[in-house]
Amino acid sequence: MAERLVQVFSKKQIASRVRELGAMITASYAERPQPLVLVCVLKGSFIFAADLARAIKLSVRVEFLGVRSYEETTSTGVVQITQDLVQPIEDCDVLLVEDIVDTGLTMKHLLGHLGIRQPHSMRVCALLHKPSRSKVELTVDYVGFSIPDLFVVGYGLDISERYRNLPYLAVVEGA
């Protein structure tokens, strides 16, 4: 069966929600004296983080964290750090920017991994959240969209490295 993309959020809906998230984050950190450290969790959040960074009207520092936690469309439950932060985050306000929180296993692991470096604060911003799939206790401080148990692609999210450059979010039928 040929693959067919079914749009779940349009380019316009995403842009509008990213602006709202940026405004919320700007308001939350407005009183902080130091730059906010955005930790872009690679690869899936690279497009979201780029847009979100520009929607935050504060001084920010950007760091990248490479993570592998998925094989095809099934969670392995194993989280591998493929690229670590370059600069220290001790005493910093850190915002982890993730494409999607599914079971929450990856984010839980990353919070532990970065938490031992003693940041001043650490919060999570995820473009997408699947609350029904949650396997761990986790607070996602800023959520773009909550979605049911669907496997989505586009806007940075892939299936076997494909569809990351799709400008909207979609479900692949027949994959």
| Spacing of C-alpha 44 from chain mean position | 7
Find where tokens 């009183």 sit: 31
| Residue 36 or 100 with smaller CB distance to ligand 5GP | 100
Among 103, 113, 141, 168, binds ligand 5GP (CB under 6 A): 103
Find where tokens 């494909």 sit: 162
Is 151 among the residues that bind ligand 5GP (CB under 6 A)? yes
Among 69, 95, 114, 123, binds ligand 5GP (CB under 6 A): 69
| Residue 29 or 153 with smaller CB distance to ligand 5GP | 153
Is 48 among the residues that bind ligand 5GP (CB under 6 A)? no
The stretch near ligand 5GP (CB under 6 A) out of 19-27, 50-58, 97-105, 116-124 is 97-105
Is 158 among the residues that bind ligand 5GP (CB under 6 A)? yes
**What's the rounded Cα separation, in Å, for the pair 38 and 107?**
15
**What's the rounded Cα separation, in Å, for the pair 166 and 18?**
16
Q: What dihedral angle (degrees, nearest 10) is formed by the CA atoms of 164, 4, 104, 157?
A: 0
**What's the rounded Cα separation, in Å, for the pair 12 and 16?**
6
Find where tokens 């909207």 sit: 168
Cβ atoms of 172 and 4 within 8 Å: the answer is yes
Find where tokens 């779940």 sit: 8
Is 105 among the residues that bind ligand 5GP (CB under 6 A)? yes
In the complex, least distance from residue 54 CB atom to ligand 5GP, rounded to whole angstroms: 21
158 is catalytic: no
Is 14 among the residues that bind ligand 5GP (CB under 6 A)? no
Residues forming contacts to ligand 5GP in the complex (CB under 6 A) are 44, 69-70, 75, 98-107, 151-153, 157-159
